[in-house]
Amino acid sequence: MILKLEPQTLAEELGQLGVHPASEKIFLYKGEILPLKLVDIRTPAANIIKQEMLACGGDCAIPAGCVVCAEERVDAILLGTRKHYARLLEKLAQMPYFGMAAVQSELEALLDPAPLQTILADGRTLTYDRMLVMGILNITPDSFYADSRVPQLEQVLERAGKMLEQGATILDVGGESTRPGSDAVAADEEQQRVVPVIRAIKERYPDCIISIDTYRAATAQAALAAGADIINDVTAMAGDAAMADLVVSSKAPIILMHMRGTPKDMQQNCAYKNVVTEVAAYLVQQAQMLAERGVSKDKIIFDPGIGFAKDVKQNLQLMQGLKSLTGLGYPVLLAASRKSTVGSVLGGLPAEERLEGTIATSCQAVYAGAQMVRVHDVQENLRAIRMLEAILCPSHI
């Protein structure tokens, strides 16, 4: 009898086998091929890295014309175990040319990542030993999912309390629908919707964490003054040039979401060569803009923007490739709850019937190593997440 083993069970299997403790790490380093994509590196570097990977016992896929340097820059795909990458890092350390020092630095950070955390302006810290859940509170009359609309203040407070009781770590308050084709509301109307709600939630639940779902710096600033803790910007600061200034001055964390255009026209901006690579590159670019102004990684969260300037196939590709984002050194939020892609995949179901599909997306976020999901149904998603976490890592129960 021959049994297949899952990578996450290998350590336990080695222990039960009785291998020498000193050799366990060696075996673990050989236990799984880890495909990695190098994006936009110099062609000579790609050729050298391929030869070094082959020498280490791994491999590297490069474009057909790479060997004759037909292009100045190319992508490459590394195929190796952690043992192969350890050897490659030793080689790269001796080659400070063709941009390989940067490759070495990024590879080291990916293979030995620092623990992720998010530090709020008041000093409280979000840690991600288990996935966190963000509950959605839409203070709008036109959000795509009718059951998420809570226009009356007492209803909002009841909904907020229920979500917190069910295990939500963050409450996401929004005053403008960003569904495809939606019209913008005036800034003062948006603030009139969200500021009193945030203030009231904080008064009733003073220890809760609130994110403000807005792309306007003025609204975000007013929300922070009312008690909000995190900015959730669906434009990743592209919608308002003042947003970056606010992040710097307020020290509040920001969720950077990928989108093209505006909610009104974003579905006419769905042309990608590789949606996963392009989304990742854009989010890193926006994060680097903040880094240049002194904003550290513990103030930034990535959101791939499911449903924003992507069609159904691209949304599925993003969720399938979500691990590409979770290796970038920033916490990742998946926000796919009850969205149209779920309905389309399941045969045209309306938003009211997309709970099971949403739970599947939350489970995929667990598999991909994401840190948070944003959902309408806190209890149902959290129960599925915790069960899957227990299966994948029983020792953490």
Instruction: Say how far apart CA 126 and CA 252 lie, in whole Å.
Output: 13
Catalytic residue among 159, 260, 339, 354: 339
Round to whole Å and give the CA distance between 57 and 36: 15
- Beta bridge partners, 279, equal none
Report how far residue 136's alpha carbon sits from residue 285's, in angstroms, rounded to the nearest whole number.
27
DSSP structural state of residue 323 = H
> Which of 175, 173, 181 shows the shortest CA–CA distance to 262?
181
> Distance (Å, rounded) from C-alpha 366 to C-alpha 353?
22
Q: Give the separation between CA 143 and CA 151, rounded to whole angstroms.
A: 11
Burial class from Cβ neighbours inside 10 Å (0-12, 13-18, 19+) for residue 152 reads exposed
Residues sharing a CB contact under 8 Å with residue 28, sequence separation 6 or more, in sequence order: 10, 11, 14, 82
On whether the CB atoms of residues 337 and 377 are closer than 8 A, the answer is yes
Q: Is the dihedral of CA 54, 35, 254, 262 positive or negative?
A: positive
Question: Catalytic site residue 87?
Answer: no
**Contact between residue 260 and residue 272 where contact means Cβ atoms under 8 Å apart:** no
Neighbours of 282 (CB within 10 A): 19
Answer yes or no: 339 catalytic. Answer: yes
Query: How far apart are alpha carbons 303 and 128 in whole angstroms?
Result: 16
SS3 content of the chain, % helix, strand, coil (to 5): 50, 15, 35
Question: What residues act catalytically?
Answer: 339, 374
